[in-house]
A and B are shown apart, each in its own frame.
Chain A
């Protein structure tokens, strides 16, 4: 990959208890592109994703070796502040997880915890983020209703808006459409297309068509190893590895 990388890993290994979940993974994620991680379940793609914002810190008995850099800074360096890191690297989860608060409060939560108190400023951020997430028109009249009253697809877009409100550089998406119906999925996919103008998106998916549709680059993982990574068209049309070809053509999975 010749494009400038925003995140890269070098020989990344991760053990969960005794299980060697990531095995010397080296990947470069290009800036302002959509990179998809595909592979059968349990191959470590979500684990890799959660390394990028150090959300694996929450789990006990995890051991990590190797290097992960964001903007050429090692994110496991002792001087790294996780809070700042997570501000730069936002995340959207598999299951929509809005807080049990109002729509407005959900979006404003991020800016608020980062010290913005001015109501007008918060209002502006909320509107901008919701517009960005293509949700504004649907919710503008009920910003102060509970977020839990939204549909699944709306909740997921709210979670994206919540992430955008912090103005991150990278957005991690962990199978963001797996709990959604096809229409909601299409909306999220369109949104991803728009987002890559300003953000770098890394998306984990087990849906190969989705990877082919939305991503510029694709990495294929299998049993904790990154088998192959390259331009999406190349991976899908002329994979170098036999394993990749077998997976993509549906011979296992």
Chain B
């Protein structure tokens, strides 16, 4: 199916990790014809992502930025607009769970880090790109939530709260801008063997996979495919939804 994404410009945060959702997303969008602004806090890896996009024949720039800092976010968006003249698609993919161990022993700092990266960053980036989208009455914002938003998990209180927050943010922003031609949706993946879990399969993760109806972990391509669908006009009637891409692991919630 033609997704009609040729010559669209997509900003993807957290696109650096070679084994992450963001990297698969930029490559998939590039294959569909998008030019890419590849963001990461790790500048070198962002450059690698941009180079891989260019190897596919699309334009790309890498922007190193900490998406929890509004000055860096605004600067990133300025650079993107200077290079491409527009931003059609924003994928708020950067995320991580910092808090570990029993809740009572977690630091307040862990809480702030989780909320800032997983929730506040989505707000900052959306705010920064929206004026350009509103000017043109066309835009797609795709937030990455998590199965943790739906069913929770041990020791990820702040992360779960942030990812639930992403769901709520998605709904309200979606309602605010739907009539202006902008779609806002989010995706809730299951566990995946990315940097999120140290990039390695562990016995704990194997047990989690055993409980998934499909008996497999989410792979970055699963998420990238859903992003491409939601970024296209093929799904233009989908508004404010949280799509689980998780092999059925949250059908109970």
A and B part of one assembly: no
Chain B residues with CB under 8 Å of chain A are: none
Chain A residues with CB under 8 Å of chain B are: none
